[in-house]
């Protein structure tokens, strides 16, 4: 047998078996989180120290979220993630850590009542969204920006039902918001004016929790009015997003048993 062919067959076999690893991460996530109740996902830097004001605010924020009967979900690491898990844990609530295998920096914090470790970012991201009724973002790095902009994309494209996204820290977020407005909107017209209403910024933990609580209780969202969409397009998928419309056929009338 040609050695190159053997290598190709071996690699193909490994790729096929990798699908089971991916599947197992989804299964573990679904089984672990299916009964945690309404939850809020808290994002923020892994590098924030315990003596930092935002660390202390994250602890306070999670305590108050638990007081409103929310579970708290984080990335399970140090910094803001640790602070949020700590606040939920010390308040006697459900404190979820969705850890990720990294070469460095991911050190699981000890304040998790539910702990999962993922190899794949995309599987982990599904869990952040699927089980959360809202996001609260503290100052953070590229990972926090990634999660914030992903939430904006999901809401803006109507791929998910709208949910509250609150940014805590005007001194940190204001520069980014100015750039979004002046460059993305005014200069290049890459977004719509209404897209600036997809999130809120505050320095108040109480206000952040109140926004999440009111949106959850009333099932109302402050953002732009939702356009009229076909019923099948807004049906929920198992991963917490919407089915949408087939981009090739643009079918508007799909049977009610569409899945």
Chain segment 43-102, per-residue pLDDT in tens: 999 999 999 999 999 999 999 999 999 999 999 999 999 999 999 999 999 999 999 998
Total of domains in the chain:
2
Count Cα atoms within 13 angstroms, Cβ side, for 18: 8
Same-domain check for residues 69 and 175: yes
Q: What residues contact residue 195 under an 8 Å CB cut-off, 6+ apart?
A: 152, 156, 185, 224
- For residues 182-197, give the mean pLDDT: 97
When mean pLDDT is compared across 172-181, 206-215, 249-258, the lowest value belongs to 249-258
Residue 5 covered by a domain = no
Report which of 167, 131, 145 is spatially closest to residue 241, judged by C-alpha positions. 131
pTM: 0.89
Task: Indicate if 205 and 233 belong to the same structural domain.
Answer: no
Domain assignment present for 10: no
**Judgement on whether residues 179 and 212 belong to the same structural domain of the protein:** yes
Q: Are residues 135 and 152 in the same domain?
A: yes
Q: Please indicate, yes or no, if residue 145 is contained in any of the structural domains.
A: yes
User: Are 209 and 96 within one domain?
Assistant: yes
Q: Give per-residue pLDDT as tens, 218-239.
A: 988 877 788 888 888 888 887 7
Cα-Cα-Cα-Cα dihedral sign, residues 145, 150, 156, 162: negative
Residue 45 lies in a domain: yes
CATH of the domain at 85: 3.40.50.450
Q: What is the pLDDT of residues 109-142, one digit of tens each?
A: 999 999 999 999 999 999 999 999 999 999 999 9
233 and 156 together in one domain: no
Q: According to the model, what pLDDT value does residue 130 have?
A: 95
DSSP category for residue 233: G
Same domain, yes or no, for 84 and 154? yes
In the predicted structure, residue 258 carries a pLDDT above the cut 50: no
For 135-188, write each residue's pLDDT tens digit: 999 999 999 999 999 999 999 999 999 999 999 999 999 999 999 999 999 999
Q: Are residues 31 and 134 in the same domain?
A: yes
Rounded Cα distance, 218 and 216, in Å: 6
Q: Classify residue 115: in a domain, yes or no.
A: yes
**pLDDT category of residue 7 using cuts at 50, 70 and 90:** low
Average pLDDT of the chain?
91
Residues 69 and 46 in one domain: yes
The predicted pLDDT at position 4 comes to 55
pLDDT given for residue 238 in this prediction: 75
Do 244 and 137 lie in one domain? The reply is: no
| Tokens of residue 146, six digits | 């990634």
Q: Is 240 part of a structural domain of the chain?
A: yes
pLDDT of amino acid 190: 98
The answer, yes or no, to whether residue 257 has pLDDT greater than 50, is no
Please check whether residue 52 is in contact with residue 74, taking contact to mean a CB–CB distance below 8 angstroms: no
The answer to whether 84 touches 57, Cβ cutoff 8 Å, is: no
The pLDDT-based confidence of 12 (bands split at 50, 70, 90) is: low
pLDDT at 250: 54
- Could you tell me which of 39, 29, 258 has the C-alpha nearest to residue 127? 29
Q: Is residue 179 part of a domain?
A: yes
Give the residue with greater pLDDT, 119 vs 11: 119
Domain extent at residue 240: 229-259
| 15 in a structural domain | no
Let me know whether 42 and 63 are in one domain: yes
Write down the pLDDT at residue 224: 77
Percent of all residues in the chain with a pLDDT value above 70, rounded to a whole number:
90
Q: Could you tell me if 38 and 158 lie in one domain? A: yes
């Amino acid at each position: 047998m040609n050695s190159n062919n053997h290598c190709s067959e071996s690699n193909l076999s490994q790729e096929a078996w990798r699908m089971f690893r991916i599947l197992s991460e989804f299964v573990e996530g679904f089984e672990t989180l299916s009964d945690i109740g309404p939850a809020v996902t808290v994002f923020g830097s892994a590098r924030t120290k315990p003596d930092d004001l935002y660390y202390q605010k994250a602890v306070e924020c999670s305590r108050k979220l638990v007081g409103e009967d929310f579970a708290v979900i984080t990335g399970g690491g140090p910094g803001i993630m640790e602070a949020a898990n700590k606040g939920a844990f010390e308040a006697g609530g459900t404190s979820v850590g969705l850890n990720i295998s990294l070469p460095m920096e991911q050190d699981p914090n000890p304040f998790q009542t539910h702990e999962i470790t993922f190899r794949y970012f995309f599987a982990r991201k599904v869990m952040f969204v699927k089980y959360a009724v809202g996001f609260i973002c503290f100052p953070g790095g590229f990972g926090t920006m990634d999660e914030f902009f992903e939430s904006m994309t999901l809401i803006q494209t109507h791929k998910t039902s709208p949910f509250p996204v609150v940014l805590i820290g005007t001194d940190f977020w204001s520069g980014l918001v100015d750039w979004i407005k002046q460059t993305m909107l005014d200069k290049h017209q890459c977004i719509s004016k209404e897209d600036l209403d997809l999130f809120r910024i505050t320095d108040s933990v109480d206000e952040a929790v109140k926004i999440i609580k009111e949106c959850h209780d009333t099932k109302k969202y402050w953002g732009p009015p939702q356009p009229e969409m076909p019923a099948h397009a807004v049906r929920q998928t198992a991963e917490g997003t919407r089915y949408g419309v087939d981009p090739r056929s643009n079918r508007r009338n799909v049977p009610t048993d569409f899945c």
